[in-house]
């Protein structure tokens, strides 16, 4: 895999990192200008906190890799100025992080999403690991307390659903719990979520995974049973299933659970068989389990993050099992992904393709795309291949 490793390394160091390092830092007000067009110019100065904290995380994490060399201090300075801006401006009076700020740091969207707190934890822990700064650790623990306090009602008073609506159990909540457990254990050495993480993994593998259909469902009824009479209950997001898979694989490897490894690898193969577009290639964004009209109008698009998470899951699964089918899928997906997503003229990757694999949006960053899924996947894939 030497040539593949070299290709991934070159993409990370010569294309992806320089694009964000050169264009995203707001040197006037602090934080990051995330909404960047194809050339790296900002088309919107709104600062969405999911994306802000993900960017802090990525620069801090990169500073701890062999790719830092003489860039380590530069990357840490970028992460630290983002941390300072967000801690100073990003929290409401109760300590929850807003969803979005204006360029100067004024709050413009209420903290209706606990995802802002989750990614604050990730960013703070990565910066604490890289610098040892106790303020970063304290900020991570404060956000953890906020996040856990919102567990029963994540959207709080901003929840727009009325009592008569179905109160779904969402797969991404359980996926986030597994990821949070990994982050806390590796970064802060806090084992307090062990039971919750095990319960979340069991829920994914025993409930959300539906062996009879070969998919991981996005939503279950409160009784942990499928509701195939509604679009929400039939929704499948292959990308979430594959991202969950490699989180669980990492947890299983650390905790010596080969039974989970084997099961997850079978799930990965099944998700790809279900989500792969047999006509144009690539992985669908959403599908309806019974083939009915999906409510998401973007259902047949091909998104960068879905393919990034799939590449990681396949390599990690192959390394742990030597299952040749996983390697075959990786080679197939790797070829399709690198043919369609990279922007060879201006760097970085397009995020949104139509079903045929043609870019629909020329942006490189926005409300839901930043310096995160792609560099993380490149790093993870390089690491898996080097271990192989």
Per-residue model confidence as pLDDT tens digits over 93-141: 999 999 999 999 999 999 999 999 999 999 999 999 999 999 999 999 9
Distances from the Cα of 197 to the Cαs of 186, 232, 255, 266, 377, in angstroms? 14, 25, 12, 21, 22
CB atoms < 10 A from the CB of 175, how many?
23
Rounded Cα distance, 183 and 187, in Å:
6
- Bridge partner list, 302: 353
Query: 194-203 and 238-254 are packed helices; what angle lies between their axes, rounded to 10 degrees?
Result: 130
Output phi, psi for 365, to 5 deg. -150, 150
**DSSP class of residue 96?**
P
Tell me phi and psi for residue 78, to 5 degrees: -65, -45
Residues 6+ apart with CB under 8 A from 146: 94, 95, 96, 97, 114, 117
Q: Which pLDDT score is estimated for 160?
A: 87
Q: How far apart are CA 270 and CA 275, in angstroms?
A: 9
Question: What pLDDT is recorded for position 20?
Answer: 98
**Which portions of the chain are predicted below pLDDT 50?**
none
pTM score, whole prediction: 0.97
- pLDDT for 192 equals 63
Secondary structure element (H or E) that encloses residue 312, with its range: helix 304-321
Q: 355 phi and psi, to 5 degrees?
A: -60, -30
What is the structure's pLDDT at 191?
A: 63
**182 contacts 118 by C-beta, under 8 angstroms:** no
Measured in whole angstroms, how far is the alpha carbon of residue 329 from the centre of its chain?
21
Q: Could you give the CA distance from residue 187 to residue 18 in angstroms, rounded to a whole number? A: 26
pLDDT at 86: 98
Residues 273-319 pLDDT 10s:
999 999 999 999 999 999 999 999 999 999 999 999 999 999 999 99
Fold of 167-340: Glycosyltransferase (1.50.10)
Distance CA 373, CA 365 (A): 11
User: Could you give the 3-state DSSP secondary structure of residue 283?
Assistant: strand
Q: Supply the pLDDT for residue 171.
A: 97
Q: Report pLDDT for 194.
A: 85
To which H or E segment does residue 6 belong? Answer: helix 2-11
How many residues can be counted in the chain?
388
Gyration radius of the chain over CA positions:
20
**Domain ranges in the chain?**
167-340
Q: What angle do CA 43, 378, 367 make, to 5 degrees?
A: 25
CA-wise closest residue to 270 among 301, 250, 249, 245 = 245
Q: What pLDDT, on the 0 to 100 scale, is given for residue 161? A: 84
């Amino acid at each position: 895999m030497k040539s593949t490793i070299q290709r991934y390394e070159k993409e990370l160091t010569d294309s992806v990192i320089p694009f964000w390092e050169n264009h995203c830092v707001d040197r006037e007000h602090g934080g990051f200008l995330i909404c960047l067009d194809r050339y790296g110019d900002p088309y919107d100065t709104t600062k969405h906190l999911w994306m802000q904290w993900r960017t802090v995380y990525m620069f801090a994490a990169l500073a701890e890799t062999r790719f830092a060399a003489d860039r380590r201090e530069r990357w840490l300075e970028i992460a630290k100025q983002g941390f300072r801006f967000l801690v100073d401006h990003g929290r409401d009076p109760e300590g929850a992080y807003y969803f979005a700020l204006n360029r100067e740091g004024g709050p413009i969207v209420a903290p209706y999403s606990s995802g802002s707190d989750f990614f604050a934890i990730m960013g703070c822990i990565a910066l604490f690991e890289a610098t040892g700064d106790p303020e970063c650790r304290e900020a991570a623990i404060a956000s953890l307390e906020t996040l856990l306090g919102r567990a029963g009602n994540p959207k709080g008073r901003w929840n727009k659903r009325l009592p008569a609506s179905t109160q779904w159990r969402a797969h991404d909540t359980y996926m986030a719990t597994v990821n949070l457990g990994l982050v806390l254990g590796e970064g802060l050495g806090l084992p307090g979520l062990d039971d919750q993480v095990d319960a979340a993994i069991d829920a994914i593998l025993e409930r959300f995974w539906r062996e009879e259909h070969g998919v991981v469902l996005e939503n279950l009824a409160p009784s942990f049973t499928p509701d195939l009479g509604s679009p929400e209950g039939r929704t499948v997001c292959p990308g979430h299933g594959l991202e969950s898979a490699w989180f669980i694989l990492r947890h299983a490897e650390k905790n010596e659970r080969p039974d989970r490894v084997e099961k997850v690898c079978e799930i990965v193969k099944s998700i790809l068989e279900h989500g792969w577009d047999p006509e144009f290639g690539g992985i669908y964004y959403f599908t309806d389990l019974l083939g009915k009209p999906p409510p998401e109008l973007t259902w047949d698009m091909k998104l960068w993050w879905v393919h990034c998470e799939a590449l990681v899951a396949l390599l990690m699964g192959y390394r742990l099992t030597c299952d040749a089918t996983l390697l075959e899928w990786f080679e197939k997906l790797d070829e399709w992904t690198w043919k369609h997503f990279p922007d060879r003229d201006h760097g970085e990757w397009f995020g949104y393709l139509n079903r045929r694999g043609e870019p629909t949006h020329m942006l490189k960053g926005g409300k839901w795309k930043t310096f995160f899924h792609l560099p993380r996947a490149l790093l993870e894939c390089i690491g898996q291949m080097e271990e192989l």
